[in-house]
Amino acid sequence: MDFEPAGAPIPHSSHWGAFSVLRRDDGIQIVPHPRDPDPPSLLGNIPAALTHRARIATPMVRKGWLDQGPGPDRRRGRDAFVALSWPEALDLAARELRRVYADHGGRAVFGGSYGWSSAGRFHHAQSQVHRFLNVLGGYVKSVNTYSSAAAAVILPHVIGSQESAGRENVSWHELATETDVVLAFGGLPLKNTSVSSGGTSQHVARDHLLAAHRRGTKFHLISPLRDDLPADIAPAWHPIRPGTDVPLMLGIAHTLMSEGLHDRAFLERFCVGYPEFEAYLSGRSDGQPKDAAWAAALCELPAETIQDIARQVAGRRTLITCAQSLQRAEHGEQPVWMGVVLAAMLGQIGLPGGGFVYAMGSLSNVGKLALAVPLPTLPQGQNKVPDLIPVARIADLLLNPGQEYDFNGRRLTFPDIRLVYWAGGNPFHHHQDINRLRDAFTRPDTIIVHDSVWTASARHADIVFPATVTLERSDIGASANDPLMVAMHPVAAPYGQARDDYAIFADIAARLGVGERFTEGRSADAWLRHLYETTRVALMKQGHDAPDFDAFWAAGELTLPTLPWDGGVVRAFRRDPDGRKLPTPTGMVEVASATIASFGYDDCPGHPAWMPPVEGIGSPLMRDFPLHLVANQPATRLHSQLDFGATSVGSKIKGREPIRIHPSDAAGRGIADGDVVRVFNHRGACLAGAVISDAVRPGVVQLATGAWYDPLDPAADNPLCVHGNPNVLTRDARTSRLAQACTGQLTVVQIERYEGSLPPVRAFDPPGS
């Protein structure tokens, strides 16, 4: 589709907001959508996307793979690349795909993608790569997300799906108008509400929090980080030790029980398993009452404070919120489950503005009205390969073919992967223990990556196809909980020889004789028109304005109807527990789960429980690594996207990712504000820039994820990351055998002031430059 005239605003969208683009002689200017009350600073990263030196300009093939052919190779990530023409590179990829499918079948192909590369509904890389591999015969898939895998598995056993306990349960409007007390475990950080998959036109969290505060809502922030709730709502900050949310919840629950403040009628009518849990809570089953004094010793809050919280929330409209961050840790299922149980003991589940809500404040569109019409969606086809892995087990998959493992009551086996095809994602951002992941990436015969920039994933590939960025193509931007559908007009021509993912897959599919099955005879523009019809027809049937595609495209956006808020299945269950049962094994809130107990997992028993971590409070490792590291989501970018953008680069210290450290911890190590420090443990080390701050509790440091991995010596087995990627430090281990989710939020480290000449940051330089 044609470009807009120079100077005219060009509508577009991203996962962190709808916006328009003004083309200038010296580049582009980003203008937030006029209806957005709180546009995020992340929009400032976008202009760098078009022409940054990190862009990939031409198809590239790793020299060792080109010279010696497919096979495991420890030179990945260390080797040089050779530029090839598109026909040459496409022929190589097609030939290798033909070989692997013919010799080993789809069980030898892993389709990797994380879906965050574009807010567009058609140029959605995850849908594109999965559709392509399904046409070829299927692939081994991953399930769930790094963000929320533990919750995605535990919640259906306890109260319902993640959607039921999150998006459909309690709205921002209800919090602002109904809630008396919020216990925010992990907080409601505004930086996280900047982002939502598919984009958002209105960032509403700040305004609703302020409205609740003005009405008199009392907020309790339970986090080692003071800014996990905004200061202008005057939260009571309870700076607990990282990973001790469950003991605190148990201490509150014990106070409710011992003082007769729990809602016995609700527990009897709407729940199963409370007597079994109370035996654990009281200490009858194991000899240890989980009272406030016991909890205080673990989380380092005064016992009196724990008791006071319990007394404040009893009998009031109380909302228990659980951030995604809590379940990205050892035994991450437990704080989610215990949050539900605490809300059940208060009798608040299913009430407007009360009960339990998961991931509110973790994404922009949680707690907003759902759409009344379906969105354009590219069909992915049928995957004929049944094998799957939990998403955070990618290194285990590649390192341990044939090994059996447990997952949510099933016994599965890791297939033998010969080819990895990755489009739209950067596992060297998402995954823990990068040095282990580097080893895992040496094992397949071939790794093919589509990327727009030289991420670490592209550097560890054998064949790299340069992909366009969202500003270089037409698409439709939309999200299931935001009313604005955006006509994403192209802003610029593709960089170098970059092509859309769709065009790349279509060319390879044609070489393999399945081109028509992949494209169905449609160009990318024809697909946009075809997919738009789904939404237009639904609008027409409901009697709404339903412009044709050309009118929509010319207008630049379309406001879609939303459904009234009804609280979803949880609210319906509260109103009619017999007729509208929950989608759990018993149809009730499962305080204790006979299903989970039947699995026999020692790391996830049949009721919520406190289990000490291998790394963290009480572990021997803390003698050598006495600081808790919180590796949370960044405030200056989405994951690792556009780390070279102005907003992200502007936050760095001497080119390194900032790390916050409490003044007392810094003083004891001779660290001053702005110093470059070495952060290390038994797995690895990185450099970061020190920020001295009392917004982190003593004994805790905070280093956001997303700095591009930049090894000082790529040829070394365990190199120093000079840029500040915390995943050289985090542990690649499961939450439990139930969810097999990632544990990347927390680890233990030591810090020292870096001495000597600072090595250059080369993360954004193309290989060989």
Task: Cite the active site residues.
Answer: 114, 116
| 708: DSSP letter | P
Q: In 3D, which of 464, 449, 425 has the Cα closest to residue 117?
A: 425
Residue 546 in tokens? 């339903």
Nearest of 290, 320, 3 to residue 165 by alpha carbon: 320
d(CA 109, CA 70): 14
Give long-range contacts, CB 8 A cutoff, 24+ apart: 609-613. 609/246, 609/280, 609/334, 610/246, 610/247, 610/250, 610/290, 610/298, 610/334, 611/330, 611/331, 611/334, 613/243, 613/329, 613/330, 613/331, 613/746
> Which residues, 6 or more positions from 188, have their beta carbon under 8 angstroms from its beta carbon?
182, 205, 209, 228, 229, 321, 323, 360, 361
Distance CA 193, CA 279 (A): 39
Beta-bridge partner residues of 599:
none
> Which runs of E-coded beta strand occur in 223-350?
236-238, 271-272, 318-322
Q: Are 23 and 6 in contact (CB under 8 A)?
A: yes
Instruction: Write out the two tokens for 661.
Output: 């450290």
Residue 656: phi, psi to the nearest 5?
Answer: -110, 155
Give the H/E segment covering residue 157. Answer: helix 149-158
Q: Which residue has the tokens 């049949």?
A: 606
Contact present, 581 and 269 (Cβ < 8 Å): no
Which residues, other chains included, contact 744 with Cβ-Cβ below 8 Å and sequence gap of 6+? 146, 328, 431, 432, 631, 705, 727, 730, 731
CA–chain centroid gap for 14, Å, is: 16
Dist. CA 178–CA 40, nearest whole Å: 27
What distance in Å separates the CA atoms of residue 72 and residue 70, rounded to the nearest whole number? 7
Read off the tokens for 667. Answer: 């003083």
- Count the Cβ atoms, other than its own, within 10 Å of residue 236: 14
Distant-in-sequence, close-in-space partners of 447: CB < 8 Å, separation ≥ 6: 76, 419, 420, 422, 441, 460, 461, 462, 463
- The answer to whether 419 and 106 have CB atoms below 8 angstroms apart is no
Whole-angstrom distance, CA of residue 510 vs CA of residue 287? 68
Distance CA 442, CA 766 (A): 21
Angstrom distance (rounded) from CA 722 to CA 473: 34
3-state helix, strand, coil split of the chain in percent (to 5) is: 35, 20, 50
Spatial separation of the C-alpha atoms in residues 113 and 451, rounded to whole Å: 11
Q: Which residues contact 197 (CB under 8 A, 6 or more apart)?
A: 15, 115, 116, 119, 363, 365, 479
How far is the C-alpha of 295 from the C-alpha of 247, rounded, in Å?
A: 5
